[in-house]
Amino acid sequence: MRVLVVACLVLSLLGCGSLSGFDSPDIPDREAAMAALAAAEPCCEGPQALRYQTISQGFNERIVIDGSEQVLKLKTGKSWVEAYALPANRSGYAVVIESLIRNDEIFAPALLLLDGQFNVVDAVNPNQFIYLRAKGMSTDRLNYTLNITPELGAAYLLVFTSDDALSGSTEYVHPARAYAEAQSLSDPGVPNPKAKHSPVGLFELSVVGTFVTPADQQKDMVDRWVDSFWGDVPAATADRSTPATVEAIARSVPDSSSPVIASAAVVTTAAAVPAPVAAAASGAMMAETEAMYNQMITQAVAGRDIDKAMKLVEEAERAGSASARKTFVEEVKKLK
């Protein structure tokens, strides 16, 4: 028992990698949930018939999706859905959504913002959520912040998932590696686990009275994933990214023989991508080190941290990497 207590204390100090059944409600596992969702009948023809929970500024709750929710069939697939009536605020506000990893599974949220006539005014793809590692008492999670302006005209918020998301997973930092880092020890080299995406799970939703710009989310996501779900979608405003910007990223990365200037569509704070750097005098990089750099570049691009990925490319090429830039280009193209 004492060992268990000490182990739990260590994990709580580091941030638990995944919530266990002891600290979260009873939720079906992914396999059972997928079967239940396949058999579930949609409750409504469209969003007009959904039951909406009214939320206001200061709302901050942990939401359980366990298969008892309303079912809606969208162009992206069938999903249980949480529906919220948003507060009216002339000065704007932020809605923060964080989905929590639990038992190596996670609900991968998608978001739809609707106006008063239930037309789509904005949408967020599950891939746009940012992975945030466990820290303090917070578990590993997927995070997204919606800054809602009066001009957007958003009246309702739907939280659901998509068929594409359910076929994927989210890699998160292994607790042993997090502990080694916190103690300034050598990386144990254990592979990071992956949380399978599930149609059920836990997420936290909070409404903040002012705009939020977390350090991990200073960049606007590159693919806004706006689509027509029940009618025409208003054109995106000039200062909002569109799906075309994903292609702009790939086009902005030339081959290893030419200098690169990052497209402004990639990230608002992006620096120039460095031209290939001459290899260090020490010669070719060891295969294990090259693989490590390529993995870090892949993870940075997957997390939409383009700045970090570009810096890793430069660092790897200085050390003698011959494949870092190719890895970067290939991973950016996958963002489509």
Side-chain-side CA neighbours of 38 within 13 Å: the count stands at: 8
**Rounded Cα–Cα distance for residues 204 and 322 (Å):** 43
Nearest to 41 by CA among 83, 73, 75, 77: 73
Rounded CA Rg of the chain: 21
Helices (H) and strands (E) in the chain, counts: 8, 14
DSSP 42-72: PS-SSGGGS--EE--TT-EEEEEESS-SEEE
CB atoms within 10 A of CB 58: 10
First to last CA, the chain: 49
* Tens-binned pLDDT, residue by residue, of the chain (336 aa): 333 333 444 444 444 455 544 355 689 999 999 999 999 999 988 899 999 999 998 899 999 999 999 999 998 999 999 999 998 877 788 999 999 999 999 999 999 999 999 999 999 999 999 999 988 778 999 999 988 888 888 999 999 999 999 999 999 999 888 888 888 888 888 899 999 999 999 999 999 876 555 433 433 333 333 333 443 333 333 332 333 333 332 333 333 333 322 222 233 223 334 445 444 444 577 787 788 888 888 888 888 887 788 778 887 887 788 898 888 888 877 865
CB atoms within 10 A of CB 82: 21
CB 117 within 8 A of CB 46: no
| pLDDT value at residue 30 | 96
Task: Give the SS3 label for residue 252.
Answer: coil
**Rounded Cα–Cα distance for residues 83 and 72 (Å):** 11
CB atoms within 10 A of CB 90: 5
| pLDDT value at residue 287 | 81
Task: Give the SS3 label for residue 256.
Answer: coil
Those residues whose C-beta lies under 8 Å from the C-beta of residue 148, and which sit 6 or more positions away, are: 86, 89, 92, 93, 94, 95, 113, 154
| pLDDT value at residue 98 | 96
Could you tell me the residue ranges of all domains in the chain?
Answer: 2-217, 244-333
Place of tokens 């090429």: 317
CB 204 within 8 A of CB 62: yes
Report if pTM > 0.75: no
Task: Give the SS3 label for residue 100.
Answer: strand
CB 116 within 8 A of CB 155: yes
* Residue 170 Cα to chain centre, angstroms: 9
| pLDDT value at residue 311 | 79
**Rounded Cα–Cα distance for residues 127 and 123 (Å):** 12
- In the chain, the largest separation of any two C-alpha atoms, in whole Å, equals 67
**Rounded Cα–Cα distance for residues 265 and 259 (Å):** 18
Place of tokens 């979608």: 233
